[in-house]
Amino acid sequence: MELRDYVRVLHRNWILILVLLILGLAGGAGYAALQQPKYVASTQLYVSVRTEGAATGDLVQGTTFARQMVTSYVDVVGTALVLEPVIEELDLDDSVSGLSSRITATTPLNTVLIDVSVTDGDPEQAAAIANAVAASFQEAVQTTLEQPATEDAVSPVRITVTEPAVASSTPTSPNVRLLIILGV
């Protein structure tokens, strides 16, 4: 077939092509309208080791220890140890596994940072959950996981919230433009 043949087919069937284009556009827009918006709120945590009055070698060793621990801490964020207090505090109608499926914890390579993201249908609720997870995680690490040897001592690991979660004004999904383009 040559280009002339394609043009002839398009010319003969332009009404059918137009109808299918409009149906695809309507289908993509309809599907996008039926999707519940999802919002993501993120918080960032900084993990450090307490080394008051320490020598330079101790500081380097503490930073290396913190980097190694961060990879394990990322897995702890989605556990019952961290999430049960969040469910109780915010009075959520969710199980630990249900809440865990909406939470993502990652760490950038070779850093002592932990990024926690929460997806929810309500932007305020997403931010509240993210901040509550950060607070619960701090408590779990400092009192349970890295429990000091004596009751008067403080945990050697310090978790600091460097960026609290804020409610997003725009949903992350559905991507209306993409769905309409796919429909077309």
Please, are residues 137 and 160 in contact by the beta-carbon 8 Å criterion? no
pLDDT tens column, 11-47: 787 787 778 888 887 877 777 777 788 899 999 998 8
Nearest residue to 114 (alpha-carbon basis) of 81, 146, 143, 78: 78
Does one domain contain both 44 and 97?
A: yes
Is residue 144's pLDDT more than 60? Answer: yes
Band of the pLDDT at 112, cuts 50, 70, 90?
confident
26 and 46 co-located in one domain: no
Residues 30, 75: one domain?
no
Average pLDDT, the chain: 80
Same domain flag for 128 and 62: yes
Is 136 a domain residue?
yes
170 lies in some domain: no
Assess if residue 131 is contained within a domain: yes
| Full residue range of the structural domain in which residue 68 is found | 39-163
Rounded CA Rg of the chain: 25
Give 106's strand partners. 115
pLDDT attached to residue 164? 92
Domain presence at residue 152:
yes
The CATH number of whichever domain residue 114 belongs to comes to: 3.30.70.1130
Same domain, 70 and 102: yes
Q: Is residue 24 part of a domain?
A: yes
* 3-class SS string, 55-90: CHHHHHHHHHHHHHHHHHHHHHCCCHHHHHHHHHHH
Q: Are residues 67 and 157 in the same domain?
A: yes
More confident residue, 159 or 152: 159
pLDDT of 151: 64
Please give the single-letter amino acid code of residue 116: V
Residue 56: predicted pLDDT: 44
Q: How many residues does the chain have?
A: 184
Residue 43 sits in the same domain as residue 24: no
121 HSE (CA, 13 A, CB side) = 2
Q: Are residues 20 and 65 in the same domain?
A: no
Domain count, the chain: 2
